[in-house]
Amino acid sequence: MSASLRYVSLDFLTLDFNLMSEIPQEYKYLDVSLVDTVVTATLRERLMIEGNQLGGFNPTVFCDELLDLGGRIAKQGDVRALIINFALVERFASTSLSAMLNLERCLRNAKCRLMICRISESIFEVFKITSLDQFFEIFPTEDEATQALE
């Protein structure tokens, strides 16, 4: 299963090549794209394997992939923001929250903003209960997250 990669402008071809060629094509739970200097990762909790079969969710791999992406972005050094799209996520336990916190610290050190969008009401409840809705930048849509960067 390959990550979907979108290149918007040839002006950023060099950046695209450097960062996107480094991102593994086989992230199981992330679809990654780069627009300008903003990386967007759509989280896919449910795996599609061998056609229509659903694969089991592996939280450890999920967390590892988030942190791996963060590490690559931090190494790149000139990514303004990582927007994480939660539209396809139904479950989000505290281990994933921990991964998000580690990711945030990694990106903050690289001067990259971490933004979250399209969280379901149920998962937002988890952020609210743990007061992490005040810690993370959370937006209703990807467009609104992007506009906040203007």
Which residues lie near other proteins (CB under 8 A)?
56-60, 90-95, 97-99, 101-102, 104-105, 120-123, 125-126, 129-132, 134-135
DSSP three-state, residue 45:
coil
Nearer to other proteins, 59 or 71 (CB): 59
Least distance between other proteins and beta carbon 86 (Å):
13
CB contact at 8 A, 115 and 82: yes
Give the CA distances from residue 68 to residues 50, 64, 120, 122, 145, in Å, rounded to whole numbers and listed in that order: 25, 6, 24, 26, 22
Nearer to other proteins, 75 or 91 (CB): 91
Nearer to other proteins, 58 or 141 (CB): 58
Residue reference for tokens 């229509």: 52
Least distance between other proteins and beta carbon 62 (Å):
11
